[in-house]
Amino acid sequence: MKLVRYGNPGKEKPGLIDADGKLRDLSAVVKDIGPDQLGDAALAKLRRLKTATLPLVKGSPRLGSPVAGVGKFIAIGLNYADHAAESGLPIPPEPVVFMKATSCIQGPNDAVMLPKGSVKSDWEVELGVVIGSRARYVSQKDALNFVAGYCTINDVSEREFQIERGGTWDKGKGCDTFGPLGPWLVTRDDVPNPQKLAMWLDLNGTRMQTGNTRTMIFSVAKIVSYCSQFMTLLPGDVITTGTPPGVGLGMKPPMYLKKGDVMTLGIEGLGEQRQLVVPFKL
């Protein structure tokens, strides 16, 4: 199933994309797509619906983040060996875990705003994992059973804030608009192998990142299990799992986002995003 949330920011309604690619409204069935709708039983109920009977949504409304009520937005750093190399950093012996502020989450095609004073804003296409049920000290073998589904994420990052301003990375990772999610939450039954997904990102039509989740250092199962050793993962939590090479920081010379740039990115089976880069505005 491809679940979506559509409509104006803060007023999104739940929906799904049917087999013909059409958007259908789910508001008569569920209140939203959020923590209460992501467990196995709740998803099974949605799967039993006769989609042809759901109302078609007219036009092409804006899409919001496909999951509401995200409690934690966890991120994994340097999870592709070739990206660690381009960042000039060693391959980590254990997953690097940091947090993105949940206030940065937005729809897949909403504009990305350069933060005040930003000179080093950068792009990162990543596989997003949405937690479906409470996970605490889960084994790697069981870990994927706690996943509701997957989505495309752009882990937008301000490198000066992240690397040159002291402390941990979080300052450069959670700026407003730095978390485009979607377009869809694709439930895990439709993603039989999360370690075999092609991914890409174009800047102004030029291919910058080409990758595949098969070259992750730590697999999705390992990451879910690993994070659950340090914190309880709850339904609606999102983990973004690291980026393949080709970010602006790794270019020679480095290259960063400027107003008017357009990022387009996608992951096999999980849909595409498009963001216009706009200047800072309060």
Say if residues 194 and 220 touch (Cβ distance below 8 Å).
Answer: yes
Say if residues 72 and 231 touch (Cβ distance below 8 Å).
Answer: yes
Residues 6+ apart with CB under 8 A from 5: 12, 13, 14, 15, 32, 33, 63, 64, 65, 66, 67, 68
Shortest Cβ distance from residue 266 to Zn ion (Å)?
16
Nearer to Zn ion by Cβ, of 124 and 237: the residue is 124
Nearer to Zn ion by Cβ, of 64 and 179: the residue is 179
Nearer to Zn ion by Cβ, of 12 and 124: the residue is 124
User: Which of the 8 DSSP states describes residue 271?
Assistant: E
Shortest Cβ distance from residue 261 to Zn ion (Å)?
18
Shortest Cβ distance from residue 134 to Zn ion (Å)?
25
Shortest Cβ distance from residue 225 to Zn ion (Å)?
20
Longest dimension (CA), the chain: 55
Shortest Cβ distance from residue 75 to Zn ion (Å)?
5
Say if residues 130 and 184 touch (Cβ distance below 8 Å).
Answer: no
Can you give the binding site for Zn ion, defined by CB under 5 A?
124, 155, 243
Nearer to Zn ion by Cβ, of 239 and 277: the residue is 239
Shortest Cβ distance from residue 51 to Zn ion (Å)?
34
Nearer to Zn ion by Cβ, of 46 and 84: the residue is 84
Nearer to Zn ion by Cβ, of 37 and 243: the residue is 243
The CA–CA distances, whole Å, from 108 to 11, 182, 186 equal: 16, 5, 14
Q: Which residue is nearest to Zn ion (CB)?
A: 155
3-state class percentages of the chain: helix first, strand second, coil last, to nearest 5:
20, 30, 50
- How, if at all, do strands 179-180 and 105-106 pair? parallel
What torsion, rounded to 10 degrees, do the Cα atoms 71, 78, 153, 221 define?
Answer: -70
